[in-house]
Amino acid sequence: MLKTRFTEMFGVEHPIVQGGMQWVGKAPLVAAVANAGGLGFITALTQPTPEDLAKEIARCKEMTDKPFGVNLTILPAIKPPPYAEYRAAIIESGVKIVETAGYKPQEHVDHFKEHGIKVIHKCTAVRHALSAERMGVDAISIDGFECAGHPGEDDIPGLILIPAAADKVKIPMIASGGFGDARGLVAALALGAEGINMGTRFCATQEADIHDKVKQQMIENDERSTNLIFRTLHNTARVAKNAVSDEVVAKEREGAKFEDIQHLVSGQRGKVVYSEGDPDHGIWSAGLVQGLIHDIPTVQELLTRIVTEAEGIIRGRLSGFVSGGAAQAAE
């Protein structure tokens, strides 16, 4: 069994996290992750109202008695969601772990901490991680350039970002972006993280509420099958490469403003991709890790495989690189 400060702090068996994913972070997937020994997160803003979120939390509690959390992503908007009401729903539901992400989380962190809730903050730069640490969060999820969704504007891949953060961040840290198998978990631990966060890989599991055609598309895709959109708007997002994201990239090269591409990048179109199974209907998030996805296992099968193979790598192959290690491993 792999034990880290992260597993000890959050009371989970394995150092593997299923982060918040729009349209995907729902009770059946989250409960499956929890029951398999990982830490899953319901995505708050996938639920249309705070009342719906409370119902989804209750549904998850019916499926598992193990720890799980809620992701609350804070985005700048002319008309923002009722964040205070979403926070209240989380607190009143008795959830004890929250993942925050996005814009100026201090108010949210303070409110959750007042109610004894542990907070993981998701960020894309060392400076942001240190800022979150000063805010009083309990752990950091550091997102490398390989990730799906928003990788920030620094373009620093995990091989550099994770150890750079580990050199300065004192609280437990999990690595995000490009992780999908045992090799990634072992690498993350070697780089200074205390676990991994997976998004795209969990999308290609049996419990994910995504059409099978889209899951099969992830298997057919490789590590080149993503596009970076919103680069010219300084709000970069990594999404699956398809007809729509190709069009967005082309329009941006021509100098398009957001209003020129707004109809293409609608979140509702992405939601339809997942529900109806047409990978070219809209924008949908996917990371470079698609190149490592070759099957659609259950969550239990996936976590068992990752942890078992990771232990094998640590005890076997890696120990063989140290003089006398192979002989010791065989004893």
pLDDT for the residue 328 = 52
pLDDT at 79: 87
CATH topology for 5-209+294-315 is: TIM Barrel (3.20.20)
pLDDT at 78: 77
Q: Give the model's pLDDT for residue 301.
A: 98
Tokens, residue 183 = 């090799």
pTM: 0.95
Q: Write the pLDDT tens digit of every residue in 18-29.
A: 999 999 999 999
What is the pLDDT, as a whole number, of residue 121? 98
Q: Which two tokens stand for residue 39?
A: 């830490």
Low-confidence residues of the chain, pLDDT below 70? 324-331
The domain limits of the chain are 5-209+294-315, 226-285
At 75 the pLDDT is: 86
Q: What is the pLDDT of residues 83-96, one digit of tens each?
A: 999 999 999 999 99
